[in-house]
Chains A and B, each alone.
Chain A
Amino acid sequence: MKILLAEDDIQTADFLRQGLVAEGYSVDHVPDGRDALVRATMQPYDMMVIDRMMPGLDGLSLVKALRSAQVKVPILFLTAMGGINDRVEGLQAGADDYLVKPFAFSELSARLGALARRPALLEGSRDQVRVADLSMDTVRRAVTRGETGIDLQPREFRLLEHLMRSAGRVQTRTMLLEAVWDFHFDPNSSVVETHISRLRAKIDRPFDKPLLHTVRGAGYMLKA
């Protein structure tokens, strides 16, 4: 997996590169937008991380330029804090996801994991999702673990479906808030934790082997 990182702050870029390399990515870093455009059009990348504010060519124009040049690689857009319109502008320009600075590296890593479109560790078809002995019928809206039927609230069902479809990948709090509730702000209270613990009480607690894991400092992951 080859990543192009366009970020003008060398220190931040170094940390990101070290972290990404440790996770098995190979990283090319460019400190300004024009260089990024040249690199991106000269060789193929699997993903790009583009900062909004850069010398030469700003991130937004870079993404627009890449998309109009038919470069279809997944792009993660980094925006400044406080920017209410940054997310919408980034996505409208053609980015696939966005992240507000400063962010946790684990957040970046989780989002890149989702963007990489690596196949999730899940078995079954579109309507039938299965992780270990946990299975979900999205048409009949039924969940069973082993032989036991599990009764879920509608939102718990959506939360579990999302976790199952991205099984084996870390899902952060904000990723879950976006995917399950479609909210792009951060509530101060422990919304995600509370809903996860209720879900856990239903799908894990009565059984021997836990499937819903907490990934320290990052988020949650459903895994056999």
Chain B
Amino acid sequence: MTDSPLTRLMRSSSLRLAGRLALIFVGATLLAGVVSFLLLTSALQDRLRADARQMAESLGATYQVAGLIDLHAQIATNIATTRDFANLYLFIDSSGRIVFGNFSVRQPFIGARDLVSGRDMILPGKDAPKGLGFSAYGVRLPAGWIMVARQTSALDEVQGIVLQSVAFGLGLAIALAIAVAGALAWRAERRIARLSEVLDRAAVGDLAQRAIEDGGDDIGRISRAVNATLDQLEQTVESLRQVSSDVAHDLRTPVTRLRTRLEPLMLRNDLPPDAAAEVAAAMDQSDRIVLIFDAILRIAQLEGGDARPRFAILDLGGLLRDLHEMLEPVAEDLGHRLSCRALSMTVSGDRDLLGQAITNIVENAFRHCPVPADIRLSLEALPGQALLTVTDNGPGIPATEQEAVFRRFYRLERSRNSEGSGLGLSLVAAIVRLHGGSVELADAKPGLIVRIRLPLA
């Protein structure tokens, strides 16, 4: 989860989709260019052929109306006004002799034909270019043939222009496609990033965040669905909280009364010994009810994320040393050994909640380890996080049950009859989660390792 935003953008599905669209866009533009190029070429070719035919026929008409002299004059005028072999004219008499013109062919023909200079025809002059393409048309007259040819190299020029404009358009299309794709992907990525942030926050109990809802597209739809789910969840959590606080109110009164009734009896000296023992036992049980009930309510509140606004910057190492100093004599009296190795490092949190979590773990070790146990507290700094470890050399917890012990009221088979509430580790997990950290169990071979990771402040 440490990818840079750019890496994430490059890998995002939206950018891939945009890239694919851009490719299709460019392909379509290219295809359109090729098609228009072909169409334009063939249209121009037809036009040149039609020109040649029309000129040949009009010269034929001149001959029939005005005679050979006028035909001659007309062709001479045309030749004089043409440059660079653009238009060619030729009159051949009935015997096949070239009478006049500005090109020559081996054999007169009738109708349209494509010619290449130097191959099918000869241009006048010593350095006459070869390989030029012409569209020619021949007309048969009683006196001979009229041949007219139009140079098609003008077509090459037009083709070049078309190709240039297609290439330019294509470049523009690619640039535009990349820009649009990038912008779309960036916008989608931003909305997805917000969405995943909202879900991450919800996972640690902050249900107040909402995704960006704009847009009728799929991300907008998912965002709205996520927001609706969060609304529902928030409402459920709120009503759950309401229920637990109602339960608290309704139950604390009878429990308070029970305690206030038992307490004066405890202090009386005139009770028969068996009655006094019963009162003490009843008092014990009522305290246990309170303890369990208090733990349930606390876990519910912690999971609702209620306590986070009270967080302050605190020295976790100092807290651990304080706890060690407080619990060490207790361990000694029980016959255990409790040691502590902790450097100072700061986290954001609630000193009492963290203190309670760590105390719970240490007291679990007191309870479950046979005397004499070696219990070690340690705290080390990892990049960005504090790693707090409580290690004992007691019986440990089987790997198959390590997940389950964090569940409420879950108890290992062997400790089913002991005095614990089955809530200690659930409370630890709830406290650590509230602090944005994680807790895991491992096997110390023999013994139990509890690892708590908390983000450094």
Contacts and interface: CB of A to CB of B under 8 A. Distances in A.
Interface of A: 9, 11-12, 15-16, 19, 53, 80-85, 88, 100-106, 155, 181-185, 187-191, 194-195, 198, 216-217
B252 A183 contact: no
B359 interface: yes
B329 A198 contact: yes
Given A82-B248, A84-B298, A194 B259 contact: no
Interface string B18-38: 000000000000000000000
Interface in B271-317: 286, 290, 293-294, 296-298, 300-302, 306-307, 310
A15 B260 contact: yes
20 contacts: A11-B257, A11-B260, A12-B256, A53-B249, A80-B248, A81-B248, A82-B301, A83-B248, A83-B297, A84-B302, A101-B252, A102-B286, A183-B326, A183-B351, A183-B352, A190-B330, A190-B333, A191-B326, A191-B327, A194-B329
Contacts of B260: 11-12, 15-16, 19, 102, 105
Contact of B356 (A81, A105, A185, A216): A185
A172 B419 CA distance: 24
Contacts of B253: 9, 12
Contacts of A83: 248, 297, 301
A132 B91 CA distance: 149
A80 B249 contact: yes
A104 B310 contact: no
A217 B284 CA distance: 12
A217 B258 CA distance: 16
A102 to B, nearest CB: 4
Given A188-B363, A189-B363, A217-B263, A82 B297 contact: yes
B140 to A, nearest CB: 112
A80 B252 CA distance: 7
B327 A81 contact: no
Given A80-B245, A85-B310, A155 B302 contact: no
A85 B308 CA distance: 10
A186 to B, nearest CB: 8
A181 B263 contact: no
Interface in B352-372: 352-353, 355-356, 359, 363, 366
B353 A84 contact: yes
A29 to B, nearest CB: 14
Interface in B241-264: 244-245, 248-249, 252-253, 255-261, 263-264
Contact of B293 (A9, A15, A81): A81
Contacts of A195: 326, 329
Contacts, number: 108
B267 interface: yes
B326 A181 contact: yes
Q: Which of A83, A103, A189 has the most CB of B within 10 A?
A: A189
Given A82-B297, A101-B256, A102-B290, A88 B263 contact: no
B261 A15 contact: yes
A194 B248 contact: no
A223 B293 CA distance: 37
B325 interface: yes
Nearest to A108: B260
Given A11-B257, A105-B260, A217-B266, A84 B307 contact: yes
A85 B327 contact: no
A82 B296 contact: yes
A107 to B, nearest CB: 10
A181 B322 contact: yes
Contact of A84 (B256, B264, B306): B306
A174 to B, nearest CB: 12
Contacts of A216: 267
Nearest to A82: B297
B285 to A, nearest CB: 13
B363 A85 contact: no
A103 to B, nearest CB: 8
B331 to A, nearest CB: 9
Contacts of B244: 82
B333 A194 contact: yes
Given A12-B253, A217-B266, A185 B330 contact: no
B307 A12 contact: no
B255 to A, nearest CB: 5
A203 to B, nearest CB: 16
Given A53-B249, A185-B355, A185-B356, A82 B263 contact: no
A161 to B, nearest CB: 16
Contacts of A105: 260, 263-264
Contacts of B259: 102-104
A38 B307 CA distance: 33
B330 A194 contact: yes
Contacts of B261: 15
Contacts of A189: 327, 330, 363, 366
7 closest A-B pairs by beta carbon, nearest first, are A82-B297, A102-B256, A15-B260, A185-B356, A81-B294, A102-B259, A84-B307
Contacts of A19: 260, 264
A182 B326 CA distance: 11
A198 B245 CA distance: 41
